[in-house]
Every structure is written in C-alpha cells, then in structure tokens.
Amino acid sequence: MTSNYPPNDDEPNLNKPDGANPPPPPPGGYPPQEGNYPPPQGSYPPPQGSYPPPQGPGPGGFPPPGQGPGGFPPPPPPSYGDPGQSGFGGQPGYGGQPATVSIGDALGYGWARFKGNAGVWIGMCLIAVVVSGVINAAFSWDRYTNSDDLTVAASFSILSIIGSLVSVIVSIIFQAAFTRGALSETDGVKPGFGDLFRFKSLAPVFAVAILVGLINAVAFILCFLPVLITGYLLWYSLTFVIDRDLDPIAAIKASFKLTTDNVGQLLPLALVCVLLNIGGAILCLIGLLVTIPVTLLAGVYAYRVLTGGPVAPVAA
C-alpha cells in the first residue's frame, strides 16, 4: 500500500534518485546551535541583504583606492614648493638631490631659446635702448644750456632729478620684463612683447630692485670689489620675486643661499656672462642685442635647474 504522505526526513526516501538523500546525522546528534535554531538540513540559498565590503588590503596587497596605510589618505605628491624649505618641495637641487649646471649647457640652452624667438628678444633690446635714449634726451637738455639765472638753473636741476627717477623706474620695468621672458622660455612658452610686461604685482619688483640697488651702491662706495661680491650674491633676487612671488627680503635671502650653496657652478657662469656682454659692448654695442638675451636665458636656466624648477627642452 502506497502512502500519500511525504516520507519522514529522518528516513531515507527510496523514491528519490541516488545522491539526493541528505546524509545521516552524526553519532550523538548535531551539536547545539546558538539561539536554539534547528540544525541545518539540506541546501540553503545564499544569505540575502547588504553587507559592508570586506576590510583590509585590496588586490595585490595594496590599500583600497584613495587610502594610504592605516586607512589614511595618501600623502600629496611632491610640489614645486617654498624656496625657504629644504629641497624646494622635494625637487632635486637646492637642499634636495644635488643638481649640476655646466657653462656649456647653460649657454647652449640660452642660445637655442634665443634662436627660437630671436625677433622678440632683439626687438625688446632695441625698445629698451630707444626708450632710455628718449628719456635721457628729454631730461638732460639743460646740460647744454648756459644760464646765470638761479631760478632757471634750479628748474633744470629738478628736471634732471625727475629724469633720473624716471630712468630708474623704466630700467627696473625692462629688467623685470626680460626676467619674465626668460622664465617663460624655460617654461616652454615663447613670449610676445605683451607677455613680457605681465606681472602679478609691480610693488615687490620695485621694492627688491631698490633694495638691491642700495646694497650695491653702498658696496661700490666702500670699494669696487665688494660691489662685485654683492652683485653676485643678489643675482637672483628679482628672479625669485617674479618666479616665486616672494617678498623682497625673502627673495634676497633665497638668492644669497642659492649663490653661496652653488659657488663652484654659478660663479664661473656669472664671470663668463659678464665677459660675453663686455665683448658685445665692444662690437659697437650691436653684439649686446645677442649677448644680453643669451646670457640672461643661461642664468635663468641655471636658476631653474639648481632650484628643481621646470626646464622645457629645446628642439633638436
């Protein structure tokens, strides 16, 4: 007689195919379960619901994306940082890994960059010469005027002082423009005439130029040799102001540190640049149209290399 009831779970079902019967319980029965749940029987579906992702290292033993060791965010990458800090934000040179600059590399880089934008550089030199000549002519005509009138003589003296101040202001602006252009060239950008005069602020430019001028003037009064020393030590003061937005005092300190830490590399380069410009002046001043931009670019190249700054490659 066939029963219409399902077989007992404790008894094998002879009508089931082979392998479908659950295994018999172990001797002594199943161990007690926490929570007084019955022992598991048969196959169960996977657990439902959302569970937090597993913690620990990700694939390959690395932390999950966006996390560093211990679950903290990863450290920021090295940056082109504060020149007052060792290593300039982890870049080579100037307190970090030593960098080297040769005279040949610096002048070669300056010449290559000059050739690639010669029209702008020669044009800027000509503009600087013409503007300076016009200013001197406008405020120096009293030198050729003879007058016994003290009032007229005093007026001429005042005009001469004003002319000197204007000449100094224009000279500082052109010096900053040339420096701005050299920095742009090392960034890989060919500046136009307008780009050379784009500054974030002219106040620190004038401040550092006046401070450097006063220091050099005092050194010149003391003796000719000290002005050569101060001129070298303060070589990059204006460059630091324009490139790093430093205040004048910090820029002077940074220039002093850079030049003293790299005397063996920068001093020979400075002497060669001076000799080249003297040679350019001997050639009826025409040679200065080339030597001034080339030596300026060479000096800024050395500055960028030794401070770990960006230096754009030149075309082969």
- pLDDT digits 0-9 by tens, 212-244: 999 999 988 888 788 899 999 999 999 999 999
pLDDT class of 28 with cuts at 50, 70, 90: low
Per-residue pLDDT of 149-191, as tens digits, reads: 556 556 667 777 888 889 999 999 999 999 999 999 999 999 9
CA nearest neighbour of 259 among 90, 182, 251, 226 = 251
- For the CA atoms of 216, 309, 96, 229, the dihedral, rounded to the nearest 10 degrees, stands at -10
Nearest to 248 by CA among 220, 219, 222, 213: 213
pLDDT at 55 over 80: no
Give, as one character, the DSSP assignment of residue 140.
-
Distance CA 106, CA 122 (A): 20
CB neighbours of 310 closer than 8 A, spacing ≥ 6? 80, 186, 187, 188, 304
- Residue 34 to residues 29, 38, 45, 49, 151: CA-CA distances in angstroms? 15, 9, 20, 21, 114
Instruction: Write down the pTM of the prediction.
Output: 0.67
For residue 181, the model assigns a pLDDT of 96
Q: Is the pLDDT of residue 268 over 90?
A: yes
Strands (E), the chain: none
Task: Quote the pLDDT of residue 86.
Answer: 35
Whether the predicted pLDDT of 202 surpasses 80: yes
Distance CA 108, CA 51 (A): 64
**Do the beta carbons of residue 272 and residue 294 sit within 8 Å?**
no
Give CA separation, 173 vs 233, 238, 293, 300, in Å. Answer: 21, 11, 16, 18
